Amino acid sequence: MFKNYLELNKAEIDKVYEFINRNGNNKHSFEEMDKQFRDEIYDSGRGVIFKLHEGNVIGRVLIILKECSEKGVAYIVNLDIDENVANKKLIVSEILNKAKGIAKNYGAYEIYMGTGNEEIIKILNSLNMYKQYLAIKMILRDRKIKHTPLHLVPLCEENKDEYLEIYNDAFKEVPHGATLTEKDIDEQIEITDDNNHFFIVGTDNKGIGFLQCKIEGNAGEFDMGLREFYRGKGYGKRLLETAIDFLNLKNVDEIYLTIITKNTLAYNIYKKRGFKEFKLLSDWFVLNN
């Protein structure tokens, strides 16, 4: 039996809580679990799917449905199977078929799945499914600024509409690029502090891109995007140096970024700048057929 998060009764939700915390690693509170599963990227819980057997939760998967209507794309993540179940291959196959059916009903014609779980990857391979690209973390050692940084304008109430337009234009055709909503922008403004920074990046009083930086401990990580009109004019290199320069000023010990290797243009730019692969985060599979 399959149920989404909103269909579960109280006893089943208790079983879900036990399931996600069964190994005792990074234990989530009930409130954290509930907030995560009700996120709008999963359509408030309808994309959070559980496999139930005799009253117990034996499998779970999350389906990012937010981009289905905008881009016709769905992402399947966090596939998790009870270690003690028999015939895991069958359970994985059933869960993926269920997830693909839901994604297609939401309008997705491109469906991708990501996992870093070695056992799940082996099962997928046994189902004749093989990775197509990777999500990796990269690190920069050569932090000397090579091009003139651009101007940074912090995200605020007064410029949030411009930021939203810039972000969505920059990511509209980027693999795994998310579509931002006004609610997302409001949340970014709310969490802005010394460790979370959001900027419009500009030149000549024009917003040409965005920059997001997150600092944890002595490490800084960033994400960035350039409006389509300004690409191929040298601004991409300057935007990258702007991110490095900002984190240099924050005196972090390490600078990281996360990249999808399918985004070959950005991936090659980062490698050329000196970023090195530091950590494999997940393998990604195409599930369209």
What gap in Å lies between CA 167 and CA 157, rounded to an integer?
Answer: 15
Task: Confirm whether pTM is higher than 0.95.
Answer: no
Q: Would residue 4 be called left, alpha or beta, if left means φ above 0 and alpha means ψ between -120 and 50 degrees? A: beta
**Which pLDDT score, from 0 to 100, does residue 174 have?**
84
Task: Tell me: pLDDT of 288 over 80.
Answer: no
Task: Tell me: pLDDT of 238 over 70.
Answer: yes
pLDDT tens per residue, range 201-212: 999 889 999 999
Residue with tokens 């399947």: 76
Task: Tell me: pLDDT of 289 over 70.
Answer: no
Q: For the chain, which residues make up each domain, given as ranges?
A: 2-130, 138-282
What gap in Å lies between CA 33 and CA 263, rounded to an integer?
Answer: 31
Task: Round the average pLDDT of the chain to a whole number and report it.
Answer: 95
> SS3 of 96, please?
helix
Task: Tell me: pLDDT of 59 over 80.
Answer: yes
Task: Tell me: pLDDT of 277 over 90.
Answer: yes
- What's at 6, amino acid-wise? L
- How many Cβ atoms are within 10 Å of 115's Cβ, its own excluded? 21
Q: 69 or 161: which carries more pLDDT confidence?
A: 161
CATH architecture of 2-130: 3-Layer(aba) Sandwich (3.40)
The reply to whether 138-282 shares the fold of 2-130 is yes
Task: Tell me: pLDDT of 109 over 70.
Answer: yes
Specify the CATH class of 138-282 in words. alpha beta
